[in-house]
Chains A and B, each alone.
Chain A
Amino acid sequence: MNAAPDLTIAKAVNAGLRRAMEENPRVLLMGEDIGSLGGVYRVTEGLKKDFGGHRVMDTPLGEAGIVGTAVGLALRGYRPVCEIQFDGFSFPAFNQITTQLAKMRNRTNGDVSVPVTIRIPYGGVIGSVEHHSESPEALFAHTAGLRIITPSNAQDAYWMTQQAITCEDPVIIFEPKRRYWLKGAVDTQRPAADPFTAQVVRPGEDATVVAYGPLVPVALAAARAAEEDGRSVEVIDLRSLSPIDFDTVEDSVRRTGRLVVAHEAPTFGGLGGEIAARITERAFYSLEAPVLRVGAFHLPYPVAAVEDQYVPDLDRILEALDRSFAY
């Protein structure tokens, strides 16, 4: 593969899966419609043809069955990568993920590892129906034993997929589905940073915006807009939701004095609250304003006709920045 071709996020995940499967014959893919169809988002396109149906398994329609059998396969020494078709369908597998996958290592006193990777396309603004647009990451992040990452660009998508698969712990990758077609350079020689760290994707001096997954491009656009008003905004791509790299956020806030956390998930009980609390504990005397959160309302994800009112956009991030500067 050439160095740094431009790929969409979907193709980058595909290439990451392909390379992981080439490198380790024990890597398996399993999920609904991932074989001949290539997945409803075509992320696994062509993989069944090249690796065979025994390694790219079209499973029966049962999420608990997918994750539950993946746990068994991992106990047998395989490295299954499960695709959950949409965020809202992770709940039938919630029991397997939180009570089994997350806890098996702890339960066996470290005797067994269950290096299962679960890919969940998440987030909204795709104009779909109920349970196709949700952001349930906080529900999983609350469970110890899981690792949760979310790439926002093709380079990360390519590498974080592989890094998740080689990780000895179970990893959930929340893939920002509305960014599947976002193109970016992918350097197949140079691995991305440690997947469990945050990265400063735009340096700035006056305030920090933390975002992840689908909202990173929105946060960057907000920072560019703020620049026109003469404000220098630093943007951090969180990348890892469990663990969260508080050090990188803290360093930034110690310099800028202001923090806005933005995510598509509802604000209430979301990861923004966790980040606000930790950063307040760690850097209270550096803060010029309270940490502000930008998120969705405490409502079920709304119908497509009004979803753009629900999911935070550039203006809602700018509004929060204005409030922060007003202190």
Chain B
Amino acid sequence: MDAAPFTPAAHAPARHAPTPEPRTRLVRLLDRDGVRSEDPVFSPYVAEVGAEQLRDLYRSMALARRFDEEATNLQRQGQLVLWAPMRGQEAAQVGSARALRPADHIFPTYREHAVAIERGVDPAELLMVFRGHAAGGWKPSEHGMNVYSIVLGSQVPHAVGYAMGMNLDRRAAEEEGREVEPAATIAYFGDGTSTQGEVHEGMVFAASFDAPVVFFVQNNQWAISVPFSTQSRLPLAERAAGYGFEGIRVDGNDVLGVLAVSRYAMEQARAGRGPVLVEAETYRLGAHTTADDPTKYRRREDESHWAELDPLLRLETHLRRHHGTDDAFFDEVAAAAQEFADQTRAHVLSMAPPSFEEFFDKPYAERHALIEEERAWYAAYQAGFDDDGRDDGRSGGDGTAGPDRGTQASSLTVAADPVTGAPDERSAGTEEDLA
């Protein structure tokens, strides 16, 4: 079979009726041998994409891949607490991100690294979450991209609500005789997440309110260890029909096809023709996260099958065969990618940990009596250590050493007076005992 085939529900219990054949065709503009084909509906969306633009797409994909590798290395060296690799999904992410305009708004999961980079998110900002320094990392208002979503599926209704707001904005502008730039939102999620109830509710709301939203599923065949066949018997794109909007299947390892389909879908949404569901069939080449071991659930043959369908290889083949692109270009890209990786590493290593105190500022916009009470208690508690003239490294907010954290937590439970904040003698004693 060719690239990104839909594999029938191998894991579905045998008593089930046979899985029907998918009715939605698979869009592909660049095949595994790097041959570009014409599609009556989608080719016009990439008509102007020639050698130059293809090389640019390749560069973005290669940089994202090298960035991803470096983040994996950094995690292995203990510099990041976790990393969710995106290797294999570069075409789906770069292709879809390139279809977006600045006024469009993105609601991602935790794996949309190439999308974030396309959106101008600084590698250092992006890695703050994975370094354990921030809950988000960048300003959504600066990048038109919300921060990563860890509770899967929850971001989908957010994208729909934001799109409903775009409709209301357009309505208000029309009433006032103003022009507004048409815009849409895009919600990214995975095949596993498609099962979440909130995804379903999001889609119903999107249809009910004609929200300009594109649901972009990267079907990378696996949730963590659970295969796609456990989530769905049919391609997810087929579900769109049930909500009354269009669903499109695209070869997610074909950057040109993804770009064309995404441009089409975003254009539909921006033009007020309602939501679109895009399913990009791709494969996660690496582990789910650095905490995962795919050898426990995946077969070597499947992995090597998909390795041959690598989105970067496919574009490289096309560029070499049809556009005379030679080693000089690929060497230059490799050098740029290495530089990007070096910068990323330098950024990560130079990141200073945040101070605990600043977290009292974050949860509320307005003054909150309880937070103020606890902030004052904490400040007085810390000051108590300074008064002792003892520097145990805690007041600096370093707090990375294991036993240190433990003591701090246990001292806090031996509460001093929360009103006066006077540190209790016993907490110092506890500290000493454990030291």
Contact = CB atoms under 8 A, between A and B. Distances in A.
Interface of A: 25, 28, 54, 57, 59-60, 62, 64-65, 67-78, 80, 92, 95-96, 99-100, 102-103, 105-113, 115, 144-145, 147, 167-169, 196, 242-247, 278, 281-282
B204 A113 contact: no
Interface stretch (B151-159, B263-271, B314-322): B151-159
B208 interface: yes
Nearest to B185: A72
Contacts of A70: 161
Given A69-B157, A71-B158, A108 B204 contact: no
A205 B140 CA distance: 54
A169 B208 contact: no
A133 B363 CA distance: 31
19 contacts: A62-B204, A64-B157, A65-B202, A68-B156, A69-B158, A69-B160, A71-B161, A72-B163, A77-B165, A95-B154, A99-B154, A103-B135, A108-B136, A108-B146, A109-B362, A110-B361, A145-B363, A147-B364, A243-B368
Interface stretch (B30-38, B94-102, B166-174): B166-174
Query: Interface on chain B toward A: helix, strand, loop, or mixed SS?
Result: helix
A68 B161 contact: yes
A68 B160 CA distance: 8
Contact of B201 (A65, A76, A107): A65
A72 B361 contact: no
Contacts of B156: 68
Interface in B113-158: 134-136, 139-142, 146-147, 151, 154, 156-158
A60 B208 contact: yes
Would you list the 10 A-B pairs with minimal beta carbon distance, nearest first? A72-B161, A68-B157, A76-B165, A69-B161, A65-B201, A168-B365, A72-B162, A62-B201, A72-B158, A243-B370
Nearest to B205: A65
A107 B157 contact: no
A69 B205 contact: yes
A115 B134 CA distance: 22
Given A59-B208, A68-B201, A245-B369, A105 B363 contact: yes
A70 B201 CA distance: 13
A72 B159 contact: yes
A270 B208 CA distance: 39
A71 B155 CA distance: 9
Contacts of A74: 161
A99 B198 CA distance: 13
B140 A75 contact: yes
B165 A72 contact: yes
Interface in B333-388: 359, 361-366, 368-371, 373
A54 B198 contact: no
B136 A69 contact: no
Nearest to B134: A109
B418 interface: yes
Interface of B: 105, 107, 134-136, 139-142, 146-147, 151, 154, 156-166, 168-169, 171-172, 185, 197-198, 201-202, 204-205, 208-209, 359, 361-366, 368-371, 373, 415, 417-419
A109 to B, nearest CB: 6
Contact of B366 (A71, A76, A167): A167
A261 to B, nearest CB: 17
Contacts of B419: 281-282
A144 B418 contact: no
A60 B135 contact: no
A65 B157 contact: yes
A113 B157 contact: no
Given A103-B135, A145-B363, A244-B370, A108 B160 contact: no
Given A68-B154, A73-B165, A75-B161, A113 B369 contact: no
Given A68-B156, A68-B158, A109-B139, A96 B198 contact: yes
Given A68-B156, A72-B164, A75-B146, 20 more contacts: A64-B157, A64-B198, A65-B157, A65-B201, A68-B201, A71-B158, A73-B161, A73-B162, A73-B165, A73-B168, A74-B161, A77-B165, A80-B161, A96-B154, A96-B198, A108-B146, A169-B368, A243-B368, A281-B415, A281-B418
Contacts of A67: 157
A85 to B, nearest CB: 15
A27 B347 CA distance: 42
A278 B369 CA distance: 14
Contacts of B362: 105-106, 109-110
B365 A169 contact: yes
A169 B205 contact: no
A281 B141 CA distance: 43
Contacts of A247: 369
Q: In the complex, which of the residues B107, B139, B165, B208 has the most CB atoms of chain A within 10 Å of its own CB atom?
A: B165
Nearest to B166: A76
Contact of B369 (A54, A72, A243): A243
B324 to A, nearest CB: 46
Contacts of A167: 365-366
A173 B195 CA distance: 31
Contacts of A72: 107, 157-165, 185
Nearest to B211: A69
Contact of B161 (A76, A103, A147): A76
Contacts of B147: 107-108
Given A60-B204, A76-B161, A105 B168 contact: no
Contacts of B151: 95, 99-100
A75 B156 CA distance: 13
Given A108-B139, A109-B362, A112-B141, A65 B198 contact: yes
Contacts of B208: 59-60
Contacts of A243: 368-371
Contacts of B160: 65, 68-69, 72
Nearest to B107: A72
Given A75-B161, A108-B139, A169-B364, A65 B204 contact: yes
A19 to B, nearest CB: 20
B158 A100 contact: yes
Contact of B364 (A65, A69, A105, A281): A105
A106 B140 contact: no
Contacts of A111: 136, 139-142
B205 A196 contact: no
B196 to A, nearest CB: 9
